[in-house]
Structure 1
Amino acid sequence: MSYSRSTSPLPLPVNHQRDCMSAATKRWKYLRRMLKFDQMDFEFAFWQMIYLFIAPQKVYRNFQYRKQTKSQFARDDPAFLVLFAAWLCITSVGFAIVLRLTFWKFIHFLLYVIFIDCIGSGLLIATAFWYVLNKYFRLNEDQDIEWGFAFDIHLNAFFPPLIILHFCQLFFYNGLISHEWFISRYIGNTFWLIAVSYYVYITFLGYSSLQILQRTHLLLVPLPIIVIFYFVSLAAGFNITYFLMRFYKERVV
């Protein structure tokens, strides 16, 4: 499928340019801009976050545009990563309040979320997709998937679950989800069903946007498995949210 920039409602990134750089140069330029907030396009990154919820397929049209103008799919502007990190901090404060964590336990929890749940798992997942898809799904041996793009796909797919599970769900936890009622596990498990489905679907959209890949529909195979597990958990009386909230608390004690 070919995407046209004119069909995307997202604004243009302000720093687009027509040049080609080596992978090492691109990485160095990205890292060098991490602390230069005045050079980041936060408006563009904010719009991407909104569209990851309402129309995630349109976000990848801008990745196609970047490939045409900068010869790379991966983001060259760290604004999205900076906003993502800010949301991690905000939602972790919510967790600390709900779980009644002390200040130092909150710091422990925040570091765990950033370096294990997000970055650590992201490195493993992005590398696994990068290796498997390059090895078994490529149509053309002369082109391959950028590892940076694989990591961007993980961040894109991780953002809606972050907001759903680490923000929205917290408002219902103490008053409703933490009990042993059926409605408690129904609401809690439904939050997880929506969040994990978002992750799988956005991951599929990211890789299916690449013309060099085939059989990307196989990335949707986990969805029916997730739905089956959802109904089994309801029938078995297993409250996923309550179980994981206890796990979150115990790992920082």
Structure 2
Amino acid sequence: MLPISYTNLNSSRITRDGTASSASRYRRLIPEYFRRIFHYPQMDIEYTFWIMFYLCFNPSRVYRVTSWHKQTKNQWARDDPAFAVILVFFMAIASMSYAITFHFLSFLNVIKVMFWAVFVDFITVGLIIATVGWWITNKFLRVSAHNHSVDQSVEWLYAFDIHCNSFFPLFIILYVVQFFLLPILLSNSLLAAILSNTLYIIGFSYYYYVTFLGYNALPFLQHTVVFLYPIGILFALYIVSVIMGKNLTVSIMNFYFGFQLQ
């Protein structure tokens, strides 16, 4: 997904201390990444849907392909923004569907819901999570380079790729599946609360699992199991929420749409 500072020793991009300079890589990769957002023919849509399918059913296979991408393009990051663009489109459609369902029918309300889902839930939160993951991995999880090897580091853009990959299954569970289960979930029953909270713990646990796979795919990182630790916290919160009879679907719909149980 994202580029790492990894080139051979004969490359002109290797600096005198043996580490690869990432500045030139960023100047090439990021402008190209954003330029391709506005050039649909340059996007590999078929490959993107392949990734989305396997992220839901066999995410480890996606990261095996990522290693091939590194070998062919000498970068871990995707240089194709199709995944993020398609995911944003799906989120906009899902947000509009929720707005219509809860009678947020004015144009301003629909735009507000779409903006919050896309630019806050996905992009802003994703930027924060990617930055934290990038910092943790480079600061604490890198394997010390031997004298004969090139020092490697996780590039920030790879961390954001991991967030995008992890977010898609969560989107399917908490935007799509939840939408069709709303008639069951929006009730005062304990069964509805258990089902709702189970849906949320599955969605967020899957997010952290795919995140773990993304960082674990990098051969120069160690102790990446730390990205699975939040699942234990989620499980504890799940038990507490069920005991308290808290229905997360009702709470979320109340936050977005002011929904109240009758």
Map residues 209-220 of structure 1 onto 2, 5 A cutoff: 209-220=217-228
Partner Cα distance (2:217, 2:53) in 1: 19
How far did 1:97 drift?
A: 2.2
Residue matched to 1:206: 214
**TM-score if structure 2 supplies the norm length?**
0.85
Q: What is the SS of the residue equivalent to 1:73?
A: coil
Q: What is the SS of the residue equivalent to 2:38?
A: coil
Residue matched to 1:25: 28
Would you say the 8 A contact 1:208–1:216 is kept in 2? yes
Residue matched to 2:138: 134
Would you say the 8 A contact 1:204–1:216 is kept in 2? yes
How far did 1:250 drift?
A: 4.4
How far did 1:114 drift?
A: 1.1
Map residues 141-220 of structure 1 onto 2, 5 A cutoff: 142-173=151-182, 175-220=183-228
Moved more, 218-227 or 178-187: 218-227
Residues 15-34 of structure 1: per-residue CA shift (max 9 Å, x gap) = xxxxx972211111111111
Q: Following superposition, which runs of at least 4 residues in structure 1 exceed 6 angstroms of deviation? A: none
Point out where structure 2 has 5 or more consecutive residues left out of the alignment.
1-21, 146-150
Pick one of 55, 58, 61 that aligns with 1:58: 61
Residues 116-170 of structure 1: per-residue CA shift (max 9 Å, x gap) = 1111001111001101110011113621001111000001111111111111111
Q: What is the SS of the residue equivalent to 2:71?
A: helix
Partner Cα distance (2:196, 2:100) in 1: 18
Would you say the 8 A contact 1:94–1:167 is kept in 2? no
Q: Which has the higher contact order (CA 8 A, sep 6+)?
A: 2
1:122 and 2:122 matched = no
Q: What is the SS of the residue equivalent to 1:169?
A: helix
Residues 214-250 of structure 1: per-residue CA shift (max 9 Å, x gap) = 1111211111221122122111111111111111124
1:234 and 2:238 matched = no
How far did 1:96 drift?
A: 0.9
The one-letter code of the counterpart of 1:167 is V
Would you say the 8 A contact 1:26–1:76 is kept in 2? yes
How far did 1:98 drift?
A: 2.4
Would you say the 8 A contact 1:138–1:214 is kept in 2? yes
Residue matched to 2:15: none
Partner Cα distance (1:192, 1:227) in 2: 10
Partner Cα distance (1:147, 1:140) in 2: 19
Would you say the 8 A contact 1:98–1:170 is kept in 2? no
The one-letter code of the counterpart of 1:233 is S
How far did 1:77 drift?
A: 0.8
Q: How many pairs does the alignment contain?
A: 231
**TM-score if structure 1 supplies the norm length?**
0.87
Residue matched to 2:18: none
Partner Cα distance (1:171, 1:130) in 2: 35
Residue matched to 2:9: none
How far did 1:60 drift?
A: 0.8
Partner Cα distance (1:34, 1:76) in 2: 10
Partner Cα distance (2:180, 2:131) in 1: 34
Residue matched to 2:6: none
Map residues 68-87 of structure 1 onto 2, 5 A cutoff: 68-87=71-90
Identity %: 40
Partner Cα distance (1:208, 1:228) in 2: 25
Point out where structure 1 has 5 or more consecutive residues left out of the alignment.
1-19
